[in-house]
Structure formats: C-alpha cells, structure tokens
Amino acid sequence: MSITETFLAGFHRDHAGLTAQVFDALPWQDSGGRPWPSSYDWLVDACRDTALPPGPGLDLACGDGLLLARLRADAAPTARPWMGVDLSPDELRAARQRLGAHVPLLRARAQALPLGDAHLAAVVSHLALMLMDDADAVVTELARVLQPGGLLAGVVGARAEPSPAFAVYLELLSQQPRSAHWQALRFGDRRWHDEAGLQSLLAPPFEALTCTRLMREERMSPESLWQWCLGMYDLHLLPPEALPGLRAEFLRRCQPLTDAEGTVLHRQVLLAFQARRR
Ligand SMILES: C[S@@+](CC[C@H](N)C(=O)[O-])C[C@H]1O[C@@H](n2cnc3c(N)ncnc32)[C@H](O)[C@@H]1O
C-alpha cells in the first residue's frame, strides 16, 4: 500500500463507520432542485435504470456497508445481488456486522479487483473514488470488470467556492507546518472533481456521462463547524497537540462572520455522476 493508503487504513481503523454517521441522513438538493434524503439515495436511484444489464453489482470502497444495506433493501424490479470491496479490514468488519454473513465482502484495492472480466453489471462508489491513488488504473480496472452497457455511478467531492468560515479553516490549515509524512501524502486525482475532468478520465471506455451537483447550505455554530471538520481527514494529519490552539484560532477568526444567532454559513457541494461502459 502507498503512504496515502496506509494513512487511510489507519484513519478508518480508528474511525470505522464515521463517513456513514456523517452522511447517512444528510439531505441534499440536486442541480435541478430535486431533494434527496441523502447522497447514498442518489446512487440507489441510479441503479434503478431498467436499461441496465442483469448481473451483480459492486459497492467500491463500501466502508461500513450503509450503501450496500440500502441497495439490498431496494425493492425496485431492477434489484440485483450486491457485493462490497474496501481496503480497510476495520470498515469491512463493521460492514459484516451490519449486513450479516451472506453479502460478499472483499478486502482489495480498487486498482486490482479480484473479479473476472465483465463480471459486473453495476459499480457504485460513495465519497471514495477521489481519494484513490492512480485514477487511470482505477478506471482501467472498472472498465475491465464491467459488462458492456454496465453502470458506473459515483458521488465525489465537487470543486466549489468555500463559505467564508470554511475559507478561514482552509487558510489556517494551509499555514500549519507540514511533517514529511504529510508532504508525502497525495489524496487522489483532481479530475474526479468536475465534469470536464470526469470526461477526460472516463473516456474512452465509458460513455453517456451525466453529472449533477448535490448541494446543501446550513447555518451552524463555529464550534459545530469545527466538529464537522474533525470528521474529515485533514486535521488528523496534524500532531494532536496542535489541535487545541488551531481550534481556538478558528473560533476567534469566525467570530466576525457570525450572525445574530451566533451561527456561520456552511456550504457543501458534491458531484454525482453516472456513465455507461461502452
Ligand atoms: C470516505 S470513506 C467512504 C466509505 C463509504 N463508501 C461511505 O461513503 O460510507 C472512503 C473509503 O474508501 C476506502 N478506500 C480508499 N482507497 C481505496 C482503494 N484504493 N481501494 C479500496 N478502498 C479504498 C477507505 O478504506 C474508506 O473505507
């Protein structure tokens, strides 16, 4: 495993299931104004396409199995058997607990899937593709395991303007001294984060790319925003003793940004896409 994958495995050992806890019941609105109860539900809906070939589906980087549970519970006529892959044994253990004994769960890297050629009719992935090393190898592997006409559907972080309070957080983070370990880390590939990048990444093995942005805005206390940031990877790259001072500075710098209720704006944007294997 690379340095980045070793960091991810360590984070998910200590925080298995955290992504699902944060995103499980978080509602979004897509670019067309359609509300979604969660970003996982957008992926479940993408799999209901009756034009898809029959055959098994894969949740790539399945984490603790929340999306697999939703996919398996979906009663649409297009229901199919689902399996999960993740590199973290701790997330897979949590997924096993959630899903029971009968769902295939494989410990593997997306760059080397232990599946035969054209084995799958659908691959979904929630908040993971944009973290992975060697995006081109991931796409090649996905193209290998999908049948012609098969679905690739993903939710990834989108390139978006940060809210003023989040810009404060990003600025403070950028000023932190970077350990050699942190400098060596590279999270994924920027091409996942917008439609033009996706087009260049996925073509030629994939076609019929469609994208929508999932957006949400809420007001929260600066302390709640700090807690939200603690659920992401970046703060875990800092020495723990740096966190109290950084938190205090963040809260101080957010003060002028608060409204009469003491809240700041928090804006989140995800990119949801689907494409078909040629
Ligand atoms: C942010 S979590 C998302 C988990 C889950 N999809 C969810 O949304 O609840 C990212 C997941 O990607 C997995 N992961 C990262 N790189 C991977 C790779 N190259 N191959 C397989 N899994 C990977 C991590 O172990 C982690 O479980």
Write the CATH number for 139: 3.40.50.150
Taking the C-alpha atoms of residue 266 and residue 225, their distance in angstroms, rounded to an integer, is: 7
Indicate whether 258 belongs to any domain: no
141 lines ligand 1 (CB under 6 A): no
pLDDT for res 180: 82
pLDDT for res 162: 94
Indicate whether 233 belongs to any domain: no
Q: Report yes or no: 151 and 123 within 8 Å, Cβ to Cβ.
A: yes
Angle at 194 between CA 209 and CA 12, to 5 degrees: 100
Which H or E run includes 153? Answer: strand 146-157
Q: Is the dihedral of CA 191, 197, 202, 206 positive or negative?
A: positive
List pLDDT tens digits, range 179-201. Answer: 888 888 889 999 999 999 999 99
pLDDT for res 77: 86
Q: How far is the CA of 245 from the centre of ligand 1 (A)?
A: 30
pLDDT for res 178: 82
The single-letter DSSP state of residue 147 is E
Indicate whether 78 belongs to any domain: yes
The arrangement of strands across the sheet holding 146-157 comes to 35-36, 28-30, 206-220, 264-277, 146-157, 120-126, 57-60, 82-86, 105-107
For 25, the domain range is 3-161+185-216+269-277
Q: What is the pTM of this model?
A: 0.96
* Digitized pLDDT (tens) for each residue of the chain, 278 residues in all: 899 999 999 999 999 999 999 999 999 999 999 999 999 999 999 999 999 999 999 999 999 999 999 999 998 888 999 999 999 999 999 999 999 999 999 999 999 999 999 999 999 999 999 999 999 999 999 999 999 999 999 999 999 999 999 999 999 999 998 888 888 888 999 999 999 999 999 999 999 999 999 999 999 999 999 999 998 999 999 999 999 999 999 999 999 999 999 999 999 999 999 999 99
Question: Quick one: angle between helices 89-99 and 66-73, nearest 10?
Answer: 30
Q: How far is the CA of 19 from the centre of ligand 1 (A)?
A: 9
Q: How far is the CA of 128 from the centre of ligand 1 (A)?
A: 5
**Best residue among 22, 86, 142 to mutate for probing ligand 1, ranked by most atoms within 8 Å of CB:** 86
Indicate whether 136 belongs to any domain: yes
**Best residue among 26, 132, 145 to mutate for probing ligand 1, ranked by most atoms within 8 Å of CB:** 132
Residue whose C-alpha is closest to residue 66's, from 9, 127, 107? 127
Indicate whether 168 belongs to any domain: no
Q: Whose structure tokens read 């990834």?
A: 156
List, as own/partner pairs, every contact residues 69-77 make where C-beta atoms lie below 8 angstroms and the sequence separation is at least 24, other chains included: 69/98, 69/99, 70/40, 70/41, 70/44, 71/43, 71/44, 71/47, 71/124, 72/99, 72/103, 74/44, 74/47, 74/48, 76/47, 76/48, 77/50
Q: How many domains does the chain have?
A: 1
Report the 10 Å Cβ neighbour count for 55: 15
Q: How far is the CA of 91 from the centre of ligand 1 (A)?
A: 9
pLDDT for res 184: 83
Q: Whose structure tokens read 């098969």?
A: 150
Residue whose C-alpha is closest to residue 214's, from 6, 35, 21, 22? 35
61 lines ligand 1 (CB under 6 A): yes
Span between the terminal Cα atoms of the chain, in Å: 31
Indicate whether 28 belongs to any domain: yes
8 lines ligand 1 (CB under 6 A): yes
Q: Is the dihedral of CA 186, 138, 11, 161 positive or negative?
A: positive
Q: How far is the CA of 62 from the centre of ligand 1 (A)?
A: 6
pLDDT for res 249: 98
Indicate whether 234 belongs to any domain: no
Which atom of ligand 1 sits closest to the CA of residue 61? 22
Taking the C-alpha atoms of residue 185 and residue 170, their distance in angstroms, rounded to an integer, is: 17
Q: How far is the CA of 231 from the centre of ligand 1 (A)?
A: 14
H-only helix segments in 28-124 = 39-46, 66-73, 89-99
142 lines ligand 1 (CB under 6 A): no
Indicate whether 174 belongs to any domain: no
List pLDDT tens digits, range 254-263. Answer: 999 999 999 9
Taking the C-alpha atoms of residue 192 and residue 196, their distance in angstroms, rounded to an integer, is: 9
Strand pairing report for 264-277 and 146-157: antiparallel
Q: How far is the CA of 87 from the centre of ligand 1 (A)?
A: 7
Q: Report yes or no: 141 and 58 within 8 Å, Cβ to Cβ.
A: no
